[in-house]
Amino acid sequence: MSNRAELMESGKPFAFDAERDAEFERLAKRYPSRDSLILPSLWLVQDQQGWISTEAIAYVADRIGTFASQVYEVATFYTMYHLQPKGKIHICVCRTLSCYLLGKQQIVDYLHNELGLKPGQISEDGLFSLEEVECLGHCGSAPVVQINGEFHENMNVDKLKEVLATLQSGGRS
């Protein structure tokens, strides 16, 4: 696992937009403790901004009324929180057990060789980013790849090419 503690600044202050603000207030009623809002709030930040900046962490901490250090801990502990901007098309390849046995490496190698993508990196044009992740709970349809939150099952290099092409052209796969 890499060091996730190097936060990035966006350069602008952060605040929830109206929709997320309303959702925050709705959630606040569902927990007896304010700190329970930390994980949901970080998801709201990521939905709005695409990633979680230093400013956003400070905003969440102050909005909830908790320590910035605690929100910082949570943001770095849970690996789905993006602490840097990701590509428009964020590709998560499962690397564990069944996906490993059924050929995830070919997919990773393809992305490296053809698109120059390394895990943890964004492509130069900002279009793609790649992550190797642990078991995604789709072992029966391995190998599985999650792209921008959607699961693509029984993947191979050919299918991946199709999916990426569709996404690039703005369609949904």
The site for other proteins (CB under 8 A) is made up of 1-5, 7, 30-40, 42-43, 54, 57-58, 61, 66-74, 76-81, 95-98, 100-103, 105, 133-142, 146, 149-151
**Between 32 and 170, whose beta carbon lies closer to other proteins?**
32
Question: Which residue stretches of the chain are H helix?
Answer: 18-28, 38-49, 54-64, 68-77, 97-101, 104-115, 157-168
**Between 30 and 158, whose beta carbon lies closer to other proteins?**
30
CB of 148 to other proteins, least distance (A): 9
CB of 133 to other proteins, least distance (A): 8
Q: Which candidate, 92, 173, 166, 102, places its Cα nearest to that of 136?
A: 92
Burial tier of 11 (Cβ tally within 10 Å: 0-12, 13-18, 19+): exposed
**Between 113 and 124, whose beta carbon lies closer to other proteins?**
113
Q: Are 113 and 119 in contact (CB under 8 A)?
A: no
**Between 6 and 125, whose beta carbon lies closer to other proteins?**
6
Residues contacting residue 11 through CB under 8 Å, at least 6 positions apart: none
**Between 54 and 124, whose beta carbon lies closer to other proteins?**
54
CB of 167 to other proteins, least distance (A): 16
CB of 102 to other proteins, least distance (A): 8
Burial tier of 117 (Cβ tally within 10 Å: 0-12, 13-18, 19+): buried
CB of 124 to other proteins, least distance (A): 26
